[in-house]
Chains A and B, each alone.
Chain A
Amino acid sequence: MLNKPNSKKSLLVAIDRNRIFILFTIVFLFMALFAPRFFNVFNLTTIMRTSAMNATVAIGFTVILIIGQLDLSIGTIITFTAIIGLGLKEYIGFGGSIPVAIIAGGLIGLINGLLVAKAKINSFIVTLGMMTALQGAIYTFTGGNSVSLSTPDAFAVSDWLALMIFPLVTPRVIITLVLIAASAIFMKRTRIGRNFYMVGGNRQTAWLAGIDTDKYTIAAFIMSGVTAGIGGVLFAMESAAATLNMGNSSLMYVISAAIIGGTAMSGGKGGIFKTFVAILMLDVLYNGIILFGLGNEVKIFIAGIILASVVLYEAYVSYKHEKVIGQRPELMKELEVQNQA
């Protein structure tokens, strides 16, 4: 008698745990069947390439959410590092400018992390301040002008990044997939990676277990800065130019993807690979919407509906969870049986 509800429950748990894969499959199949010109190599490669920047940035951002913090500065870090990566190329070549840009991203993350962990300032405030300060720095550095490569080999790197090695796979996609795989394994399969979950799940318990929570907080912000930097530099190299607001839309996009992918904003739960699948799902959806000839406003509307539904669902699950805390249904049943006897 008791087996039936349990198997039903475990099925629901399995669906809940894998909801992003189910969502992705539904959206992909729908588009493949109905969206005109969706299912061809060129279009699917476009989706993979489009996903690459946000997927890279989302690695660090997911870790930030896992430790229960927020990083609003990722968009401006993308722009800042893209401008450094391209702007310094003329002087020190890509061999120098790319590492400098990524290190700059890491340093920004370090400052964010120190202010959150050591000065105990709310991450929302710290990263909002960093976002504004960086915007000012960007305008000062560029004089309001976008940065582009003007050398004869300007498009050589971008051509290489977009080179189709085999269907759907370009060097840029490979870089992104390698980063995601390495980070996902690190977070799930190593003790240090799992400690991030512990810090986000319950900071006090993590501290009592001997984990230096401040170090993990700082490390998460550095990761966020570095991955935003890599994303920014790759995007700029592919465009052969860096504009002053190129990272602006990434923040909302990455937050949405992380939440839809199942990463809890309260911390302690989520995964990099699931965020990546959520990004792919959103890109497939956006791609299909455009192929149907619908406007950007439809795209924003549908993305908002999906995000709102996921947030509502999470709130409901959380409410149910809170409701049963402190209750022991088995005990109540035992008591009922005793009373009947």
Chain B
Amino acid sequence: MKKGLIFLMILAVFAVVFTGCKKEEAKVVEKEATTSNLGASLALETEVMNLKAADGQALIKIGGTVRKVPARPADPSALPETDPLHWWDMEFAGEITNKTNIPESPADGAIGKKVIMIVHGDHPWTTACTNGAQKVAGVYGMDLKIQSPNWDLAVQNQMIDQAINENPDMILLIPLDAKTAPQQARKINKAGVPLILFNTLPDAAAMDYAITWTGPDDFGQFRKLARLWADELGGKGGVAYVQHAPGGSPYFARCFGPVSELAQYAPGIKVLDMQAPGFEADKTMQLVSDWLTRFGDDLKGICAADDSAQSLGIFEALKKAGREDVVVIAAGNSKVGMDLVREGKLHAITYQTAEGDGALAVKTAADWFNGKEIEPIRNLPQHMITIDDVEDFYPPQW
């Protein structure tokens, strides 16, 4: 009995020591695996940075000069819409954040990580964007799953719930609407899943729950584009705006960006009208035809939120009215838009790499897995495409 007890005690001690050793051994193996995965992942950096988009441009472009952020007014909404600072909360969303419950980087490398990307809807732009994302994910050996709610908020919310259910290593999200983004981001954050928002700017509150936001500086791009436009117009004349779909940040950035910029830069330019006809060429043509009837020769310039269908509608209306003097600018850079620039019809478009947008989000996720410091905002570079350099961007991405 006594012998048996002693034997059991020795066995127990042996088991404890053995298990402890095993644990230590497992820890060592895990640490080695982590180190090797991180090392291998970091070694892929050069290959990723050398990737090319379909237009021959570098796939990963991180935003050039650091933008100047003015001090936030006490109440931006109290300022007139023509004051650039009125748009502070939208333009500089993410610059002032109160990061909440942001998970720490595991710093164990990007290889093999499971990432779910939820975009806004089906569109040729989105296809190019996800192509770019897949190129980067492919190099890193990430398991990238892409989902599209086809512009339906209820479906996007459901996809977020299902993505949480899959317990991925990261969720990348294009919020369908700026105002609903905080609740979506908060839900993901509460579930403990790391989140990166990208492409469309969400309401500032959403930034608190995300590691970062990546995408184009739409306001900045349109402020630059507006200056080019004003120079071509000679700083005076009546202009009209064909707006983006209401609700999202492009609706404001691509209309009130230039409006507020020109109020300072070229106060001689007057806003005649602004309308959101959607993204159908015939509806835009009808709208512009109405403008031409209503404003006649007073209409000197048109700014479009889209360089494809909207621009086609604009030039169809101008052609029918026999007007070649109207200076048109748009957000780009689709094949249609670039062809119009090439033909000398569109004065300028913004360079907005769709592939680069998706690629930057995945690259940022990889950087986070690799333990790198992530800025609160990662912008794509600003560039205006004109007839002088449009050839550099062929073949188009979409």
Contact = CB atoms under 8 A, between A and B. Distances in A.
Given A40-B165, A50-B154, A241 B159 contact: no
Nearest to A162: B187
Interface string A44-70: 001001100100000000000000000
B292 to A, nearest CB: 23
Given A46-B158, A139-B246, A146-B178, A239 B153 contact: yes
A299 to B, nearest CB: 8
B155 A293 contact: no
Interface in A278-306: 286-287, 290-291, 293, 295-297, 300
A296 B183 contact: no
Interface string B136-179: 00000000010111111111011101101110000000001111
A310 interface: no
B158 A286 contact: yes
B180 A249 contact: no
Contacts of A235: 154
Contacts of A37: 165-166
B154 A53 contact: yes
Contact of B183 (A50, A150, A158): A158
Nearest to A242: B179
A246 interface: yes
A42 B165 contact: yes
B165 A146 contact: no
Nearest to A42: B165
A297 B247 contact: no
B30 interface: no
A122 interface: no
Contacts of B176: 243
B155 A249 contact: yes
B182 A50 contact: no
A144 B247 contact: yes
A161 B162 CA distance: 18
Interface string B224-267: 00000000000000000001001100010000000000000000
Interface string A141-180: 0101111101000110010000000000000000000000
Given A46-B162, A145-B246, A241-B183, A295 B154 contact: no
Contacts of A291: 162
B202 to A, nearest CB: 11
A68 B141 CA distance: 57
Interface residues of B, number: 34
Contact of A243 (B155, B182, B247): B247
A37 B155 CA distance: 18
A110 interface: no
A297 B243 CA distance: 28
B203 interface: yes
B24 interface: no
B135 interface: no
* Of A146, A238, A286, most B-chain CB atoms within 10 Å: A146
Given A243-B177, A290-B162, A144 B154 contact: no
A238 B148 CA distance: 21
A244 interface: yes
B177 A296 contact: no
A46 B165 contact: yes
A309 interface: no
A244 B247 contact: yes
A297 B122 contact: yes
Interface in B259-292: 276
A139 B245 CA distance: 11
B177 A241 contact: yes
Contacts of A142: 246
Contacts of B243: 144
B247 A146 contact: yes
Nearest to A291: B162
A33 to B, nearest CB: 17
Contacts of B150: 296-297, 300
A290 B147 contact: yes
A146 B180 contact: yes
B86 interface: no
A235 B149 CA distance: 17
B155 A296 contact: yes
Given A293-B145, A296-B122, A241 B158 contact: no
Given A43-B162, A146-B177, A296-B148, A243 B153 contact: yes
A238 B183 CA distance: 9
B347 interface: no
Interface string A187-223: 0000000000000000000000000000000000000
A148 B154 contact: no
A245 interface: yes
A240 interface: yes
A42 B183 CA distance: 18
A290 B152 contact: no
B179 A148 contact: yes
A43 B191 CA distance: 13
Contacts of A248: 152
A254 to B, nearest CB: 12
8 contacts: A142-B246, A148-B179, A150-B205, A238-B183, A243-B176, A245-B151, A286-B155, A297-B122
Interface of A: 37, 40, 42-43, 46, 49-50, 53, 139, 142, 144-148, 150, 154-155, 158, 235, 238-246, 248-250, 286-287, 290-291, 293, 295-297, 300
Given A142-B246, A295-B147, 4 more contacts: A50-B157, A249-B154, A296-B122, A296-B149
Listed from nearest, the 6 A-B pairs whose CB atoms lie closest are: A144-B246, A146-B179, A148-B179, A241-B179, A46-B161, A241-B180
